[in-house]
Amino acid sequence: MNWDLSAQPEIVQRLAGYATQGWDVAKTWVLSPAAWSQFGLLVLAFLLAWLITRRLRPYLTRVLTPAPDARGFMPMLRRFALIFLPLLLPLIAFALTAVGEQVTRSIFGSGAVIAFGKRVILFVAARSLVREIIEDPLLKVLGRFILLPVMALYVLGFLDTTIDTLNKTFINLGNISFSVMSLVRFVIAGSILFWLGRWSNDQTGNYIEKQEEIRPATRQLAVKAAELAIFGVCFLLLMNIAGIPLSTLAVLSGAIGVGLGFGLQKIASNYISGVILLLEGQATVGDFVELDNGMAGTIVKTTARAMILETFDGRWIVVPNEDFITTRVINYSDQGSSNRFEVEFSVSYTTDINTIPDIVAAAVRKHPAVLDKPEPPDVELRGFGDSGIDFGVEFWVNGLDDGKNKYTSEVRFLIWNALRDNGIEIPYPRRIIEMHEPGTT
């Protein structure tokens, strides 16, 4: 094929050159006995790999599958190995093809066809990895749009040429100039490092949260410190991979300092307040708190900027960390500390009030949530009302009298039943009305 393409654009001429080279290689392969032998070895290697995989995969599945309730390092390692079983066929085919390549090179002195087949098998393995093994959305996107195109270029033999072209193509932004290849490398490395950082942070956070002997506030602080350390290392690695000198961070830190001075005071204040709260342990996840402005709820999550409260009606309130430092905060929980509540009641004036404390205290003590420490139920005489004698009983429980817990309501039921069983009347307002006829007294 001798076409005159001198008048065509350079890209057309280059593509035509690639097509010509491919046509020449194809003719050589079709007419060469060595090439046909290599094709035959490729087919044989694939069929043999398929037969081996068909018998070996059920056996490996049975051996590697642990008991459903098995825990520990070895069961986890076996479950991890099971994930990669879809790669068994291409890996066996690759190994057999490599053996066939050595045979053909020793006999014919050439192995181009079978080497091409090995690259195709690697592409099949990469495709199985992306489609059947990788489950993380970010890694799946990277595999689909980066790994598979790179493997396709490698199979066709265009990978080195493509890399060279990307290295020679530059993008200019003012005084800044960088190659397209460096941009691609930055995106790939940044995505992988971000995923590794997120995965490491999740694993570290889960491990720290399981250490129940450590105070909850200390665990939260450790999680935040680990998060900063992990993503800090990822950032430094990314700068190194991208070829950005760390000395330029001095300028960046100066810009950040100016930004903090003008527009980021609140963000910095909230972040530092969050660290102080974690260090002092005044309020942490699980505590029920009430702020000075009346907002109240259980702390369900702490972030670098704010704490999230969940009210008893299921609503979430985002409260900046600074509010916990600069305003008054009432902590009702303090990680499981007891709280005191009281219930008021009255009895009629015909009652022997000396028996009331023992009767009511014994009734309240029957409630499973009522504590004997720091104090047992205490019945107090509060006053003499218009209709009856007023009493109050104080009792301690772990938790709050709201949401799923209705301590005061349940205690009122106990008091009512105890007074009724002992024949004690609970008074209600009574009025005596005297009516006189006119002219009488």
The whole-angstrom separation of Cα 182 and Cα 241 is: 9
For residue 339, give every residue at least 6 positions away whose Cβ sits within 8 Å of its Cβ, in sequence order, or none: 332, 396, 397, 398, 399, 400, 401
Helix axes 216-242, 265-280, angle to 10 degrees: 130
DSSP labels, 305-334: SEEEEE-TTS-EEEEEHHHHHHS-EEES-T
The whole-angstrom separation of Cα 100 and Cα 98 is: 5
The whole-angstrom separation of Cα 113 and Cα 100 is: 11
Average pLDDT, the chain: 78
Confidence of residue 385 (pLDDT cuts 50, 70, 90): confident
Both tokens of 359, joined, read: 């009767």
Whether 48 and 96 have beta carbons less than 8 Å apart is answered as: yes
Return the pLDDT at 253: 63
DSSP labels, 183-195: HHHHHHHHHHHHH
Determine the average pLDDT of the residues in 411-428: 89
The whole-angstrom separation of Cα 308 and Cα 325 is: 15
Cα four-point dihedral sign 82, 87, 93, 99: negative
Return the pLDDT at 416: 92
> Within its chain, how far is the Cα of 103 from the centroid?
51
Determine the average pLDDT of the residues in 11-34: 58
Place of tokens 């949530």: 369
The whole-angstrom separation of Cα 8 and Cα 81 is: 54
What confidence tens digit (pLDDT) does each residue in 327-355 have? 888 877 654 567 788 889 999 888 888 99
Residue 361: pLDDT above 80? yes
Both tokens of 224, joined, read: 């935040």
User: Phi/psi at 284 (nearest 5 deg)?
Assistant: -145, 180
**SS3 at position 18:** helix
What confidence tens digit (pLDDT) does each residue in 33-57 have? 666 677 777 888 888 989 998 888 8
Nearest 5°: the CA angle 208, 212, 218 is 60
Determine the average pLDDT of the residues in 292-296: 79
The whole-angstrom separation of Cα 324 and Cα 276 is: 10
Residue 30: pLDDT above 60? no
Neighbours of 400 (CB within 10 A): 17
What confidence tens digit (pLDDT) does each residue in 423-437 have? 888 887 766 777 777
Whether 118 and 101 have beta carbons less than 8 Å apart is answered as: yes
The whole-angstrom separation of Cα 229 and Cα 174 is: 34
DSSP state of 387: S
Return the pLDDT at 118: 85
CATH class of 338-421: alpha beta
Return the pLDDT at 350: 86
Determine the average pLDDT of the residues in 357-363: 91
Return the pLDDT at 428: 78
The whole-angstrom separation of Cα 290 and Cα 1 is: 85
Whether the upstream peptide bond of residue 374 has omega within 30° of 0, thus cis, is yes
Between residues 111 and 299, the one the model is more confident about: 299
Virtual torsion, Cα 223, 229, 235, 238, nearest 10 deg: -110
Confidence of residue 360 (pLDDT cuts 50, 70, 90): very high
Return the pLDDT at 414: 92
Confidence of residue 364 (pLDDT cuts 50, 70, 90): very high
The whole-angstrom separation of Cα 17 and Cα 422 is: 107
Query: Which of 231, 153, 236, 147 minimizes the C-alpha distance to 197?
Result: 231
Between residues 155 and 15, the one the model is more confident about: 155
Helix spans in 5-147 (H) = 10-31, 33-64, 73-83, 88-108, 112-128, 137-142
Determine the average pLDDT of the residues in 49-73: 84
CATH class of 266-331: mainly beta
**SS3 at position 155:** helix
Confidence of residue 116 (pLDDT cuts 50, 70, 90): confident
The whole-angstrom separation of Cα 290 and Cα 329 is: 6
Residue 13: pLDDT above 60? no
Residues in the chain: 441
Residue 143: pLDDT above 80? yes
Question: Could you tell me whether strands 389-398 and 370-371 are parallel, antiparallel, or unpaired per DSSP bridges?
Answer: antiparallel
What confidence tens digit (pLDDT) does each residue in 255-283 have? 666 665 665 677 777 777 777 777 766 77
- Least trusted range by pLDDT, from 5-19, 108-122, 188-202: 5-19
- Least trusted range by pLDDT, from 23-27, 164-168, 188-192: 23-27
H or E, element range at 393: strand 389-398
Whether 393 and 342 have beta carbons less than 8 Å apart is answered as: yes
